Amino acid sequence: MLNRRSLLKAGAAAGVLAAVPVGLVLGAQPRRAAAATTPFTVPLRVPRPLRPTRLADYDLYRLTSREADVAILPGTTSRVRTLGGALSPLIVARRGRPVIIEQANALDVPFSMHLHGGHVPAHSDGHPDNEVAPGRSRLFRYPNNQPASTMWVHDHSHHAHAENIYRGAAATYVLTDPAEDALPLPKGQYDVTLQLRDAKLEDDGTLVYDLHGFQDRPTFLVNGSPRPYFEVAARKYRFRLVNTSNERAFVLRLGEGDEFTHIATDGGLLPAPVPSRILQVWPAERQEIVVDFSKYPVGSKIVLSTMMTFPGEAPEVLRFDVVRTADDPSSVPATLRPVADLGTPAVERTFAMSFDPQRGQHLINGKPFDVNRVDFRPKLGVTEIWTIENKDVDFTIPHSLHPHLEHFQVVDRNGKPAGPNEAGLKDTITVMPGESARIKIKFTDYTGRFMFHCHLMGHLTMGMMGQMEMAR
């Protein structure tokens, strides 16, 4: 189990966050684990890209949000919620070629599809006003007119979102472009998406949901498999890590602290690769790394573990088994993607994140979410600076902020410039209790109403969300 001192060191080494609140890792009391999951007994599921119907001007996918019985724990099945009947589906899209998803809802709760990280019109952004009722369907249009990045698709309905995500209805969405294709990074079977999350599973496979039970989800799933193993060749791999947990943060370490290369975050490639030994992946974040397994002899077994666990939890997440040699023409270039120029800020805003115990609500600037209220109206093409303040010192609660429509740049944390791991574009930022961060953002192209909110789903469900309306 991680203590505060070692986590402070971990945060400093990662160059991302200075600390994680002690209450997050030490607040839980010892408790009976649900299902006992022996690590590394099942192989990793590696999703193959879904096949669209290719039309003249766009790719069409038909995804039904529905329940399905899938094998998670060996010898059992679990009733989950899916997009298309399987866990961790993968969509691979191309910049400049639009995607249309026809979403049919076969659940008994609403579902509003949101492309997290997508630069999309308001009518396709998954606003709660655009919920797909049970038994109905709707088209969501994604222009894909943005740089390559790893995104994900999840529900953004008004009340069912947290449970829909927890029960498995999440897809990975990889957008490619010619500029990234030209780089010699690992490709094809050596470019692997990894959805990370936690869960509570009973011995019979029952998936247990409790909105407030984030300290009692001891089973780590990777692409829907519990602590799996993955057979790799002795060469470089690119891993796209997507944290689809409701509240779980992963502080990842490879082996005994072996070095890997951090190459991308939410909005795509970093300006330059960052040699790293620890990687923090908070809920909704995407982080991409390259691991060179050629430094391990065939027969090696290297464990990816998390340094942040609750009492009684095992730290293992995934094991890499080096089983063969392979040619490797790939490399990680010294320059990946230039820093975007978002212009000179002309507007400043502050977002104070707090919990009100009297009201039992999480608030932004003292207010809970109201679908009938617009909190502010940015103008398209105007650069803004947002200051995010976490006021929850007494409760030691971390908060994040995710604005829809645009990525942003992290300017500083607590007055100190952002580190190299945050030098690229992001769309979700986590701030520790009593700390602050500033981001630079510029909205473009699309008018209408968009959300901004904490992406710890319990906080969002309890009111930590607002609306902004874009104007020209």
Q: For the chain, 472 residues long, give each residue's pLDDT as a single digit of tens.
A: 333 333 333 333 333 333 343 333 333 333 434 555 789 999 999 999 999 999 999 999 999 999 999 999 999 999 999 999 999 999 999 999 999 999 999 999 999 999 999 999 999 999 988 899 999 999 999 999 999 999 999 999 988 999 999 999 999 999 999 999 999 999 999 999 999 999 999 999 999 999 988 899 999 999 999 999 999 999 999 999 999 999 999 999 999 999 999 999 999 999 999 999 999 999 999 999 999 999 999 999 999 999 999 998 999 999 999 999 999 999 999 999 999 899 999 999 999 999 999 999 999 999 999 999 999 999 999 999 999 999 999 989 999 999 999 999 999 999 999 999 999 999 999 999 999 999 999 999 999 999 999 999 999 999 999 999 999 9
Q: Are 308 and 2 in contact (CB under 8 A)?
A: yes
Q: Which of 69, 81, 67, 75 is nearest to 35 (CA)?
A: 75
**Residue in 328, 185, 321, 310 with CA at minimum distance from that of residue 255:** 321
User: Please, which residues bridge with residue 69 across strands?
Assistant: 79
Please name the residues in contact with 398: beta carbons below 8 A apart, sequence gap of 6 or more.
20, 21, 24, 249, 282, 390, 430, 431, 432, 433, 456
Match domain 347-470 to its CATH number in 3.40.50.740, 2.60.40.420, 2.40.30.10, 3.40.1350.10: 2.60.40.420
pLDDT of residue 327: 97
In this structure, how many other beta carbons lie within 10 angstroms of the beta carbon of residue 220? Answer: 27
pTM above 0.75, yes or no: yes
The Cα 161–Cα 154 span in angstroms is 8
DSSP label at residue 277: S
Q: Which residue has the tokens 């009947």?
A: 85
| d(C-alpha 10, C-alpha 144), whole Å | 36
Give the residue carrying structure tokens 């689809």: 244
Burial 319-356 (b: 16+ CB within 10 A, else e): bbbbeeeeebebebeeebbeebebeebeeeeebbbbbe
Say how many CA atoms lie within 13 Å of 419 toward its Cβ.
16
User: What is the phi/psi pair of residue 130, to 5°?
Assistant: -105, 30
Integer CA distances (angstroms), 183 to 186, 188, 271, 294, 331, in order: 9, 13, 13, 20, 8
At residue 35, the pLDDT reads 52
Residue 38's pLDDT is 87
Residue ranges, CATH 2.60.40.420, the chain: 31-40+183-325, 53-180, 347-470
- Could you tell me the two tokens for 359? 């009201």
- Where b means 16+ CB within 10 Å and e means fewer, 418-447 reads bebbbbbbbbbbbbbbebbbbbbbbbeebe
Q: What values do phi and psi take at 301, rounded to 5?
A: -130, 115
Domain 31-40+183-325 has CATH 2.30.30.280: no
The DSSP secondary-structure symbol of 68 reads E
Beta strands in 23-147 (DSSP E): 53-54, 59-70, 78-83, 90-94, 99-105, 113-116, 137-142
What tokens appear for 215 in the block? 């300290």
The DSSP letter of residue 144 is -
pLDDT at 390: 98
Q: Determine the pLDDT at residue 20.
A: 41
Q: Token digits for 420? A: 């190299």
Structure-token match 């049919």, residue found: 104
Secondary structure of residue 24 in the 3-state scheme: helix
For every residue of 288-300, which 3-state class applies, written as one string? EEEEEHHHCCCCC
Best CATH choice for the domain 53-180 from the list 3.20.20.80, 2.60.40.420, 2.40.160.10, 2.160.10.10: 2.60.40.420
Report how far residue 321's alpha carbon sits from residue 100's, in angstroms, rounded to the nearest whole number: 38
